């Protein structure tokens, strides 16, 4: 079972990710959260290192800017 310290750390990381990527649309921040050898598993993403996620989210934010 994770310690309360680890739980709070994880909450902070997830909150930061949501704020930077989804609230501020700072797609360049994706690299902060995923390593360069990260392989994306979704059909839409389908690339490594966050490239597919950036492409997908860029289109998503164009369609739903708010």
Count of structural domains within the chain: 1
Q: Band of the pLDDT at 66, cuts 50, 70, 90?
A: confident
Question: Can you tell me the distance from the alpha carbon of 49 to that of 15, in angstroms, rounded to the nearest whole number?
Answer: 21
Query: pTM of the full predicted structure?
Result: 0.73
For residue 14, is pLDDT > 90?
yes
Residue 8, pLDDT > 90, answer yes
**Positive or negative CA dihedral for 44, 17, 19, 6?**
positive
> Can you give the residue range of the structural domain that contains 55?
4-63
């Amino acid at each position: 079972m994770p310690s309360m310290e680890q739980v709070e750390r994880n909450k902070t990381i997830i909150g930061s990710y949501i704020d930077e990527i989804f609230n501020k649309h700072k797609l360049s921040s994706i690299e902060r959260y995923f390593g360069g050898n990260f392989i994306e598993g979704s059909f839409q993403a389908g690339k490594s290192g966050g490239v597919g996620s950036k492409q997908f989210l860029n289109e998503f934010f164009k369609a739903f800017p708010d």
